Amino acid sequence: MITEIIKLKEQGVSFRKIAKELNTTVGKVQYQWVKYQKALENGPEPADVEMIKPEASKKRVGRAAFGRKMPKRRSKNPKATELSITFSTSSRIYCYWNISHEWIRHVKSHFKMNSDPQPYVLRLYDITSISFNGHNQHHYSDSYVPFTETDWFVNGLKENRSYCMEIGLRLPSGDFVAFTRSNVIHTPRTSHHQEAHSMKELMEYEQGLIREPKWVEHVSTYSYYVMNGEEKA
């Protein structure tokens, strides 16, 4: 089963559609996928998992074929608006979100937007060594995602940097309106000459083994605000 799942994930097919295609449940598909990702992380390949080696990767944004697929953590409040990001690899993040339909309707009504489905905008900020206020990033990049999706991969992260993300919509004026902001992640250093944090420190922090370290940039999470960025995607 895992071979078929991997091939379909490479094509950007969702877990729900994979389960339907393979005539099984979403839970079983997710279990097999997470098991496969853990096998990738742990090195030696278990006998019952057929490993497929990735081709030379190119920088891109969108569905990723490989990397650590993290199980989604659903909000206890179905009306909550939230976005989370975590590492897939050291240069790629996995993001997942929950945006209520009521909230989307509210934003579209406020800005007098038509009710037709629109793609989400994932805006990734480089906020290395700054106290981010929503406007003072080093730079940002936008990715357009189909409105039917609830998770995505983003490639091209650089080492020794800090990132956070916002999800929202592009207004007819070209401005970006964000629904909510994610947590911060920190990419590891690749050289001992860099004054930064190591992957070991990152993993310890993510696992709750250490308290918030000195190098954590501070951002606030929120819902519903408009940013007129100096840069256009």
- pLDDT, position 122: 96
Position of tokens 């490989």? 66
Read off the pLDDT of residues 106-153 as tens digits, 9 standing for 90 and up. Answer: 989 999 998 888 999 999 999 998 888 888 999 999 999 999 999 999
- pLDDT, position 191: 57
- Nearest C-alpha neighbor of 123 from the set 9, 17, 197, 229: 229
- pLDDT, position 51: 39
- Nearest C-alpha neighbor of 87 from the set 200, 213, 219, 206: 206
- pLDDT, position 207: 65
- For residue 158, give both structure tokens: 């650089």
- pLDDT, position 18: 82
Read off the pLDDT of residues 51-106 as tens digits, 9 standing for 90 and up. Answer: 333 333 333 344 333 333 444 454 445 456 899 999 888 888 999 999 988 889 99
Alpha helices by DSSP H, 179-220: 199-206
Sign, Cα dihedral of 61, 62, 67, 68? positive
Read off the pLDDT of residues 178-233 as tens digits, 9 standing for 90 and up. Answer: 999 999 999 886 655 544 445 566 566 556 676 555 444 445 444 444 333 333 33
pTM here is: 0.54
**Of 127 and 39, which is predicted with more confidence?**
127
Q: Which backbone phi and psi does 226 adopt, to 5 degrees?
A: -110, 135
23-37, 169-183, 215-229: least confidently modelled range = 215-229
Distance CA 141, CA 231 (A): 9
- pLDDT, position 214: 47
- pLDDT, position 179: 92
**Of 78 and 21, which is predicted with more confidence?**
21
Contact status, residue 61 vs residue 143, Cβ threshold 8 Å: yes
- pLDDT, position 184: 92
